[in-house]
């Protein structure tokens, strides 16, 4: 189910009359007049709701002798809500572009001629800045603390704070042998 389809379905379901119609159809297939009688609504009102439900893919109709019967489209309701949430967003590209633009803005604001002007107070901005500094470290290489400090000092004098924050942000890891750059999740499998 696409994001647009999910929105249409959820919008459609947020109406008591339509929910009552679906509850009735969950028991058995029905025609308009029968639903109208059951729910205390006029037949045109039921037809109105059925059309909306059909457009949202929640019900289907079929002809049975003189009657147009309506039935629940069960496979739609078998969909797990989590599956819908995990669907790739139609907006994903747009969101990625906005994120990239924001990132560029932060880098532009905090770096001048390759030097960090100040350590951002905002965590989100600091993360971006630290990611930029982390690019100066190679993957799969162990650095001594002195080497780490020299690399960071190229960006900012307060290399202690930055080194500590890079560990805190899991951009660098350390043990008794030294420091190394952590691979991003997307690169770990490569």
Partner 1 sequence: MIEQKISKLNGYFDKEISLCEQRSKNLLADDRADEAAHEKIKANVYGIFRTILSVAVKTGKGDPDAVRHFFFLKIQQIPSNWTTAYDQARQHDDTVKMQVEQIKLDTVGSIRETFTAIWEEKS
CB of 159 to partner 1, least distance (A): 59
184 binds partner 1 (CB under 8 A): no
Give whichever of 32 and 171 is closer to partner 1, judged by the CB atom: 32
23 binds partner 1 (CB under 8 A): no
**CB-CB contact of 156 with 116 (8 Å):** yes
**CB-CB contact of 13 with 6 (8 Å):** no
61 binds partner 1 (CB under 8 A): no
Q: Which of residues 113-172 bind partner 1 (CB under 8 A)?
A: none
Interface pick for partner 1 out of 6, 8, 38, 47 (rule CB under 8 A):
47
* Token pair of 63 as six digits: 């002809």
**CB-CB contact of 97 with 11 (8 Å):** no
Helical residues (DSSP H) of the chain, grouped into ranges: 3-13, 16-27, 32-39, 43-55, 74-77, 81-86, 92-110, 123-134, 145-153, 159-168, 185-188
Interface pick for partner 1 out of 9, 22, 36, 52 (rule CB under 8 A):
52
Q: Which residues bind partner 1 (CB under 8 A)?
A: 14-17, 44-45, 47-52
């Amino acid at each position: 189910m696409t994001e647009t389809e999910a929105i249409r379905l959820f919008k459609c379901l947020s109406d008591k009359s339509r929910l009552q119609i679906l509850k009735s159809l969950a028991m058995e297939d029905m025609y308009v007049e029968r639903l109208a009688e059951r729910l205390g609504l006029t037949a045109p009102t039921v037809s109105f709701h059925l059309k909306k439900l059909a457009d949202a893919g929640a019900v289907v109709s079929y002809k049975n002798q003189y009657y147009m019967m309506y039935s629940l489209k069960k496979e739609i309701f078998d969909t797990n809500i989590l599956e819908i949430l995990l669907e790739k967003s139609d907006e994903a590209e747009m969101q990625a572009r906005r994120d990239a633009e924001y990132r560029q803005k932060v880098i532009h604001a905090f770096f001048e001629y390759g030097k960090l002007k100040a350590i951002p107070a905002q965590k989100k901005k600091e993360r971006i800045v630290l990611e930029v500094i982390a690019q100066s470290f190679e993957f799969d290489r162990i650095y001594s603390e002195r080497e780490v400090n020299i690399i960071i000092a190229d960006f900012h004098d307060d290399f202690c704070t930055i080194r500590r924050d890079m560990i805190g942000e899991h951009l660098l890891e350390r043990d008794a042998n030294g420091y190394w750059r952590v691979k991003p999740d997307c690169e770990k499998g490569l």
